[in-house]
Structure 1
């Protein structure tokens, strides 16, 4: 029965993080299963003037090393192997290649999170924390190498910002890194998402700081910019916190109703829908990720008919976040139910 349901699901969705990028999918497959890093090297070399695509390629390639991590844990020490993943071998063979060092740094961060898990901090065991921080320390060292090898590249600065989230770094240190990142690319998409995450209440901030940052960025973003979706991402973070952490926050349905009744959050959705989604601008590297957030915000607030064209554009490419944040069901089942509801309303 389970296998039948899974076959039905896989015909309707495609959770591959490379999504519809055939070049990236092939690079991931060859590097991880074929031991051929040539396609990954070629794909990354083509992104050196497209920083958003570069950040995405580094992330997706690196995170392929985290899946199936249990087989690479030393049973004696409890430590994760950091020498035998394809990213480790590539970086070892090419110590002066910034692409190799970047991907290895990000892969170490991905492995750290695989060890820690996605649960709230209070539920993480002491030994998980120890290995998490060991891997992040190594990631920081490797990322610093990438930074020195490619001083004009914003990608290692975005990685440094991400590491600062993990360690709840002081705001003044984060702002210094932020200045260096935006000096290299003022509208770096992944960097803005990381800065938003830092300001989230679940990390180092508050709802006010998070929404303040997201809306200030969106207010100056040009029509067609993916940064117009940033306040919708903030609202999804707000809903997660209120639903899971606030003693009297409410059920998922109650949180959705509060979201629906808030005129400012509704204006944020309008802005993303009209000034970003409905614009003819070319799709940016993380377009499908942003579209998943927009569809999520629309259906959670009962705007099902407006979500239908967003779902149609997403097609099969579901993302785990934010759909995993809506109740206790599998994210793919939540996505499919929401999509059916939207298409019926259209």
Structure 2
């Protein structure tokens, strides 16, 4: 009976990274399973000039290679075949196409992380680190080609910033890349998310630097900008570190209570609601991803009534992160529980 109910509940969610974008979903499906990269090429070409959508399409198309032929480790060499994925073949066919090089660079990063795994660094084996490093180095080389082919596009600079986080690059190199990125697009959403990650404690930063960056950006971002969600992302990172590393004996509920009782963290949630969610600016490319972070923050701090309209906007499109940070491996259960509480709070209001 319980398993039947759970199957019915999970049918009400959708974890596809393309979410409700029918064009992107079809492009990923055709490229990965239909051996036709034409829809992907057309979809990505249409994003030129729309920086946030371009960053999203590059990321999601690249992630479609994970788990496929191009991410399997050869048992003889101990390496991933970097010629087998559709992104590898596209880039080889069109070496002067910046779109192809961007997606391949991102694809190599996705495959590197598949080799490494998402656990804490102490659990990664030496051979995993070696292949992780090799794939990231190759991704860096491919991304440099994309930079030369499209010098005014901020997308490869955001990818370079992500690579620098993964490779623990020197701070001065990170800051130089950051300056180049925001020169091309001062409010580049994905670039700001990568810079926030760079400041996270789990990547050698600190809570102070992370929150300082997030709040300084939110303080100057225009109304309706998704960058108002950055401090909420920072709080989610803080909560993860606290429950996994700083105070591993603490329950998720105890961390949530600390989040709830901190007036500054609550102010960050209020700001995201007022300056982003309730603004009439309309959807941006990664709207659903940012909604999931906002709903997560509200749910973890017991603000179920505030979370109800956010969940309504999310619909069925749940993201693994940050919901898996609540203790559930995939995040499905945490999302469903939180959504149920929010709906109950809304019905009582």
TM range (shorter): over 0.9
Q: After the TM superposition, which residues 128-139 of structure 1 pair with which residues of structure 2 at under 5 Å, given as runs?
A: 128-139=128-139
Which residue number corresponds to residue 110 of structure 1?
110
Is 1:81 the counterpart of 2:72? The answer is: no
Q: Distance in 2 between matches of 1:53 and 1:125?
A: 36
Distance 1:150 1:200 in 2: 30
- Measured after TM superposition, the shift of residue 279 of structure 1 is 1.0
Residues 147-204 of structure 1: CA distance to partner in whole angstroms, max 9, x if unpaired? 0000000000000000000011121111000000000000000000000000000002
SS at match of 1:20: coil
Q: Following the alignment from structure 1 to structure 2, what is the Cα–Cα distance between the partners of residues 24 and 240?
A: 31
Deviation at 1:126, TM superposition (A): 0.6
- Please state how far the C-alpha of 1:7 moved relative to its aligned partner: 4.0
Secondary structure at 1:245's aligned position in 2?
helix
Q: In the alignment, is residue 163 of structure 1 matched against residue 163 of structure 2?
A: yes
CA contact (8 A) 1:168 1:203 kept: yes
Cα distance in 2 for partners of 1:70, 1:160 equals: 22
- The 3-state SS of whatever aligns with 1:187 is coil
Aligned position for 1:257: 257
Give secondary structure in 2 for the equivalent of 1:324.
Answer: helix
Structure 1 moving runs of 4+ over 6 Å:
none
1:175 equivalent in structure 2: 175
What residue is the counterpart of 1:240 in the other structure? 240
What is the TM-score with the length of structure 2 in the denominator?
Answer: 0.96
- The answer for the alignment partner of 2:293 in structure 1 is 293
Q: Which residue is equivalent to 1:316?
A: 316
CA drift of 1:72 comes to 2.6
- In structure 1, the partner of 2:187 is 187
For the 8 Å contact 1:69–1:114, the answer to whether it is kept is no
Superposed counterparts of 1:1-150, under 5 Å: 4=4, 7-68=7-68, 72-150=72-150
Aligned residue in 1 for 2:326: 326
Cα pair distance change 1:2/1:34, threshold 3 Å = farther
Greater shift, 328-337 or 140-149, is seen at 328-337
- Count of aligned pairs: 346
| Residues in 2 aligned to 1:52 and 1:319: alpha-carbon distance in whole angstroms | 18
State the Cα distance separating 1:115 from its structure 2 match: 0.4
Output one character per residue of 1:105-130: Cα deviation in whole Å (capped at 9) or x when no partner.
00000000000000000010111000
Deviation string 1:296-322 (CA, Å, 9 cap, x unpaired) is: 000100100110000000000000000
In 2, are the aligned partners of 1:249 and 1:255 still within 8 Å (CA)?
A: no
> Are residues 294 and 69 of structure 1, via their aligned partners in 2, closer, same or farther at CA, if it must alter by over 3 Å?
farther
Following the alignment from structure 1 to structure 2, what is the Cα–Cα distance between the partners of residues 12 and 310? 16
How far the C-alpha of 1:69 sits from its partner, in A, is 5.8
TM-score by length of 1: 0.97
Q: Deviations over 1:80-137 (max 9, x none)?
A: 1100100000000000000000000000000000000000000101110000000001
Structure 1 unaligned segments of length 5 or more: list them: none
